[in-house]
Amino acid sequence: MRQLMIDNGWLVAAQQVPSPNYDDRPANTVISLLVIHAISLPPGEFGGEDINRLFTNCLDPGAHPYFSEICHLQVSSHLLIRRSGEIVQYVPFDKRAWHAGESCYRGRENCNDFSIGIELEGTDEIAYEDIQYDVLQTVIAAIRNAYPHIGESDVVGHCDIAPGRKTDPGPLFEWQRIGVTKPL
């Protein structure tokens, strides 16, 4: 995959589906963390527009039984990498997306303040696609280029910043494929 460019907080190669679910980061915040998530809607199903609908507050609670449980949530992420490798961006990187929830990294709470969230279309129980790893690796390089305070050890899973509450991206995620050595 070619080198990706970021312009004014937006990944140039991504489809833009702006979410209303974001706000400004606290003043003088340095972006220093990248959080990998997993999402599928309905759970265990891939494709379709339901992830876009969730992040834009347009999810139909009657379209699936699970949706009535989550349609009231106001959540977002910066990016989604679909199983096909397509990239969708919801929030500019310089803004605070609402992806991490209650979270802590190296003693710092509220990870949304200083992190970028990337969703992979997937689940804890199903292996991710090769193209997702390839695209993710390229996206990480572009983000690190634009936000150099994200160090090698600052790429983590949602499970790492919200242990006991979150498990994604799950045990099948192959960290070494994106050049990350997970701490024990």
Catalytic positions, written as ranges = 119
Phi, psi angles (nearest 5°) of residue 57: 60, 35
According to DSSP, the β-strands at 10-11 and 33-39 are unpaired
Q: How far apart are CA 49 and CA 34, in angstroms?
A: 24
CA distances from 113 to 23, 101, 121, 148, 166 (A): 10, 10, 23, 16, 18
Most distant CA pair in the chain: distance in Å?
Answer: 44
Phi, psi angles (nearest 5°) of residue 118: -120, 120
DSSP state, residue 97: E
Q: How far apart are CA 140 and CA 145, in angstroms?
A: 8
